[in-house]
């Protein structure tokens, strides 16, 4: 954020995103950035102030977590509908109740339909890289949509991790100068924002918004390629880990993928054809590319760090099932809900999932479509390692 | 006025033209329309002051007629018309359209 030097930052600190604003306010106080920092009385006000500043014509950033994102809810849709390229660092944390400050994806998954682009980072390096790319994606003239850059609360946000920073000038040149569309501060050309839009035009505006999200599919890749040129680090819609000849695979978001990689390596060393698919871009959901990536796999476990109670499974699982519905080649698919409220996902837990997948591959039979793991009181059907 | 398709609209529902609400006919929301009896009207201007849609039209500084393109039929004019005058009555739009 310091390197991006936004015009306005309106925020209300909440754990575990507090340090983002704490550190950033120091930069403001020390004069390292020119940003107008607005300390609001709530997250609803924070996002409202972001929207106002974006309407005025500023480059705007903010950060939040959990209940804070929930309190922004109403304004998230407005930011997207008004087509403001606001970027938000979402440090994922469980939603109450019961109250919990640790990481799961219930906050951002709840906002999946708000019209924001969502990017999920595996580690601190990627969180940094995504945040810089987010500005360019949001501000692209074919997109003009807000972007939520997500990372796991505490696991990623508070862990000590080494990362490579780009120098300030490189970042500033990369993000470039912000070009506002129809800014309110252009008093020579007065415009109205937020006018009533009824049966006669509302649907046309929503159609245009849907098109922008569609356009962003190409843009996220274009920006990633440009970013690779300055950083040497390349990003795609998703990361494939030993997927080329994988017969069974786990699909998982964010930091937990790091743990899965360890298991994949250990099992590969024993000759087991296991793989991992880690989606990075969740909105827009790259359904074609993700379906292609799973087309040769026999059995898949989509693992959700959030539940959608009453549905067949978690939100990530449902996206994958729907993406594969019209495909001729479909892997058998199960869902595991894990890690809610920051519950650890350990190596044996992952091995257990792979063992179950191996049985599904061999027998063609699914025991349970969706179930909780890493929870006490459930019988572990595949035992501990 | 031909309505525009989604590709022709400015993004985010922004309105680029100032004071274009005039083009938006809110008159078709109306269920009851105000009708004024100019013989009773004393030109106290209360209806003109209170009308939220600036739909009370004056001629030579005197209340003359209503702008039915924009009058939503809220009835504030008839309510505010002083008790001893009551020059404005609200009549059913359907009946008014039949010419009654």
ipTM confidence: 0.86
What does the pLDDT read at residue A384?
54
Counting residues of chain A whose pLDDT is more than 70, the rounded percentage is 99
Kindly report the CATH class assigned to A8-231.
alpha beta
Quote the crossing angle between the two packed helices A347-363 and A256-269, to the nearest 10°: 60
Partner A contacted by B4 (CB < 8 A)? yes
Phi, psi of A300 (to 5 degrees): -130, 140
Q: In whole angstroms, give the CA distance from residue B69 to residue B75.
A: 15
Q: Does B19 touch chain A (CB under 8 A)?
A: no
Q: Is the pLDDT of residue B100 over 60?
A: no
Distance from CA of B9 to the nearest CA of A (A): 8
Predicted local confidence at residue A335, as pLDDT? 98
Enumerate residues 6+ apart whose C-beta is below 8 A from A1: A9, A20, A24, A27, A33, A61, A89, A131
Q: Which fold has domain B27-97?
A: Alpha-Beta Plaits (3.30.70)
For A189, nearest residue in chain B (alpha carbons):
B16
Residues of chain A positioned with their CB less than 8 A from the CB of B72? none
Q: How close is the nearest chain B Cα to the Cα of A255, in Å? A: 35
3-state SS, residue A367: coil
Residue to mutate among B8, B11, B72, with most A CBs inside 10 A, is B11
* Amino acid A342: pLDDT: 96
Using one digit for the tens of pLDDT, what is the confidence trace for A273-316? 999 999 999 999 999 999 999 999 999 999 999 999 999 999 99
Phi/psi region, residue B19 (left: phi>0; alpha: psi -120 to 50; beta: rest), is: left
Q: Does the pLDDT value for residue A385 go beyond 50?
A: no
Cβ neighbours of residue A4 closer than 8 Å, sequence gap 6 or more: A59, A61, A131, A132, A135, A171, A172, A175
What residue ranges do the domains of chain A occupy? Answer: 8-231, 238-372
What percent of chain B is predicted at pLDDT more than 70?
Answer: 99
Lowest-confidence pick of A79-83, A159-163, B35-39: A159-163
Q: What's the rounded mean pLDDT across residues A3-29?
A: 95
Length of chain B (residues) = 100
pLDDT of residue A144: 98
Cβ B13–A81 below 8 Å, yes or no? yes
Tell me the whole-structure pTM to 2 decimals: 0.93
Helices (H), A238-346: 256-269, 287-293, 315-324
CATH number assigned to the domain covering A238-372: 3.40.50.920
The pLDDT, as a whole number, for residue A382 is 73
Q: With cut-offs at 50, 70 and 90, classify the pLDDT of residue B97.
A: confident
Phi-psi region of A31 (alpha: psi -120 to 50; beta: other; left: phi over 0): left
Q: Given B10, B13, B16, which is nearest A197 (Cβ)?
A: B13
Mean pLDDT within B46-73 = 96
Q: Evaluate if residue B88 carries a pLDDT over 90.
A: yes
Contact residues, chain A, for B3 at CB < 8 Å: 200-201
Residue from A87, A90, A162 nearest A120 by CA: A90
Phi, then psi, of B44 in degrees rounded to 5: -75, -15
- Would you call B10 an interface residue with chain A, using a CB distance cutoff of 8 Å? yes
Q: Could you tell me if A28 and A62 are in contact, meaning their C-beta atoms sit under 8 angstroms apart? A: no
């Amino acid at each position: 954020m310091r390197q991006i030097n936004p015009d306005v930052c309106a925020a209300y600190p909440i754990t575990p995103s507090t340090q983002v604003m704490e550190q950033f306010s120091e930069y403001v106080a020390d004069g390292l950035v020119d940003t107008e920092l607005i300390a609001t009385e709530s997250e609803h006000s924070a996002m409202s102030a972001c929207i106002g500043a974006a309407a005025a014509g500023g480059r705007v950033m903010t950060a939040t977590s959990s209940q804070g994102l929930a309190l922004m809810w109403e304004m998230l849709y407005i930011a997207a509908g008004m087509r403001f390229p606001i970027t938000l660092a979402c440090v994922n944390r469980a939603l109450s109740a019961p109250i919990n400050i640790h990481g799961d994806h219930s906050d951002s998954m709840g906002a999946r339909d708000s019209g924001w682009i969502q990017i999920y980072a595996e580690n601190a390096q990627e969180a940094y890289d995504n945040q810089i790319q987010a500005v360019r994606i949001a501000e692209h003239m074919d997109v003009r949509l807000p972007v939520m850059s997500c990372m796991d609360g505490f696991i990623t946000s508070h862990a000590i991790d080494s990362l490579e920073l780009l120098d300030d000038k490189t970042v500033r040149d990369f993000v470039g100068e912000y070009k506002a569309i129809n800014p309110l501060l252009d008093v020579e050309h007065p415009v109205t924002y937020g006018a009533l839009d009824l049966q006669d035009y509302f649907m046309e505006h929503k159609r245009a918004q849907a098109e922008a999200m569609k356009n962003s599919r190409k843009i996220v890749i274009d920006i990633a390629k440009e970013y690779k040129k300055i950083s040497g680090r390349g990003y795609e819609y998703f990361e494939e880990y030993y997927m080329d000849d994988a017969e069974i695979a786990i699909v998982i978001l964010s930091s937990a993928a790091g743990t899965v990689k360890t298991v994949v390596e250990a099992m590969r060393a024993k000759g087991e054809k296991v793989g991992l698919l880690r989606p990075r871009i969740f909105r827009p959901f790259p359904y074609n590319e993700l379906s292609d990536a799973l087309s040769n796999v026999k059995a898949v476990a989509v693992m959700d760090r959030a539940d959608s109670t009453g549905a067949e499974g978690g939100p990530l699982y449902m996206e994958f099932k729907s993406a594969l519905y019209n495909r001729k080649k479909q892997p058998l698919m199960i869902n595991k809900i894990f890690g809610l409220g920051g519950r650890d996902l350990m190596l044996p837990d992952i091995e257990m999932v792979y063992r179950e997948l191996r049985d599904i591959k061999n027998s063609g039979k699914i025991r349970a479509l969706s179930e909780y793991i890493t929870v006490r009181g459930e019988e572990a059907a595949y035992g501990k390692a | 006025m031909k309505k525009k398709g989604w590709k022709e609209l400015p993004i985010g529902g922004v309105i680029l033209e100032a004071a274009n609400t005039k083009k938006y006919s809110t008159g078709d929301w109306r269920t009851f329309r105000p009708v004024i009896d100019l013989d009773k009207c004393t030109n106290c201007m209360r209806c003109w002051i209170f009308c939220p849609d600036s739909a009370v039209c004056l001629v030579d500084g005197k209340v003359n007629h209503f702008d039915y393109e924009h009058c939503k039929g809220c009835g504030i004019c008839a309510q505010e018309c002083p008790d001893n005058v009551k020059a404005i009555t609200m009549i059913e739009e359907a009946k008014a359209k039949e010419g009654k």
